[in-house]
Amino acid sequence: MWIPKKVQDRLVAGLRRYQPIVRKLKERDISEADTVTVVKDMLSDIFGYDKYTELTSEQQIRGTFCDLAIRVGEKVHYLAEVKSAGTSLNDNHLRQAVNYGAHHGIEWILLTNAITWKVYRIRFAQPIDWDEVCCFEVGELSSRANDDMAKLFMLCRENVSTDVLKQYHRQSQILNRFVVAELLQSDALLSTLRREFKRLFNMKTSNEELHSMLLNLVIKRDALDGDASKAAKVTVKKAVSTISRKQAKVEPPPIANAPTE
């Protein structure tokens, strides 16, 4: 991900300034209100938002207030649920933030205690659900690591009107161990593996034998079970169907044999 030099310099300077602060926050056990103050400063100094016009605690939803809302122009792009620095983030905190977003159609949620930052995208389905898009510990980030800087850049003011975060979310849904485990079981990869055994070792095997070995000896069980594995199956199935439809449109229909006299 290409990051403009001006933004890169801001991110590097922000990390240099706030990493020592963040590492001490948990030891000091500061209050939630004080943590909100630190988070606002980080959103301004690191991520580039205007502290006075784009960060607000006045976002009221059904009689309650979220900790912070990031509003650029007339649109709220993120809701931030902030917990005290000594609090370990959990699903109860997330549900509260998701509840905020679901009522106003705000799909992006930040959950943070200033030390740990988690980004979620709400799925407006029945029932309402969510996906974790990314997570990072500010104190462990390196300004020399491209992946670390990219995670910060995705949340910056410069990207609020782009699809960078959505694209990252889509990639994270596809490029994961559950999809890899599903692809390894496909006939195409099993056939490739079978041919490699034949080419390298002059050994005959079968797709069924290799599939059984993968399931029982190679792939970890937790990559084959559960909701994430089911989602991977759906993802692969949709991709296969999409390719099949495209091929069907490109390939000309078969030509019937000409009638004989």
Position 124 scores a pLDDT of 85
pLDDT reported for residue 83: 92
Place of tokens 């006045």: 58
pLDDT beyond 60 at 258: no
**What residues contact residue 19 under an 8 Å CB cut-off, 6+ apart?**
138, 139, 141
User: 196 near 186, Cβ under 8 Å?
Assistant: no
What's the rounded mean pLDDT across residues 27-31? 85
How many residues can be counted in the chain? 261
Residue 8 or 65, more confident: 8
What number is the average pLDDT over the span 180-187?
94
The overall average pLDDT reported for the chain is: 89
Is the pLDDT at 162 greater than 60, yes or no? Answer: yes
Residues 6+ apart with CB under 8 A from 198: 204, 205
Measured CA to CA, the distance from residue 177 to residue 182 in angstroms comes to 9
Q: Is 177 helix (H, G, I), strand (E, B) or coil?
A: helix
Looking at residue 59, its pLDDT comes to 59
Task: Say yes or no to pLDDT of 213 above 60.
Answer: yes
> Given a cut of 90, is residue 60 above it in pLDDT?
no
Per-residue confidence (pLDDT) for residue 39, from 0 to 100: 96
For 116-145, how does the pLDDT look when each residue is reduced to its tens digit (9 = 90+)?
999 999 988 788 888 889 999 999 999 999
The vertex-151 CA angle with 2 and 14, nearest 5°, equals 90
Q: What is the mean pLDDT of residues 165-187?
A: 91
Residue 189 contacts residue 40 (beta carbons within 8 Å): no
Q: What is the pLDDT of residue 65?
A: 61
Is residue 62 very low, low, confident or very high in pLDDT (cuts 50, 70, 90)?
low
Residue 104's pLDDT is: 81
8 Å CB contact between 133 and 165: yes
Digit-coded pLDDT (tens) for 88-113: 888 788 887 788 788 888 899 999 99
pLDDT of residue 94: 82
Tens-digit pLDDT profile for residues 189-208: 999 999 999 999 999 999 99
C-alpha to C-alpha distance for 227 and 223, rounded to whole angstroms: 10
Q: Which residue has the higher pLDDT, 80 or 251?
A: 80
pLDDT tops 60 at residue 63: no
Reduce the secondary structure of 99-128 to three states and give it as a string. Answer: HHHHHHCCCEEEEECCCEEEEEEEECCCCC
Q: Would the pLDDT of 254 be above 80?
A: no
Instruction: Give the range among 45-49, 57-61, 82-86 with minimum mean pLDDT.
Output: 57-61
- Could you tell me the domains of the chain? 5-161 (3.90.1570), 177-248 (no CATH)
What backbone torsions phi and psi does residue 80 show, to the nearest 5 degrees? Answer: -115, 125
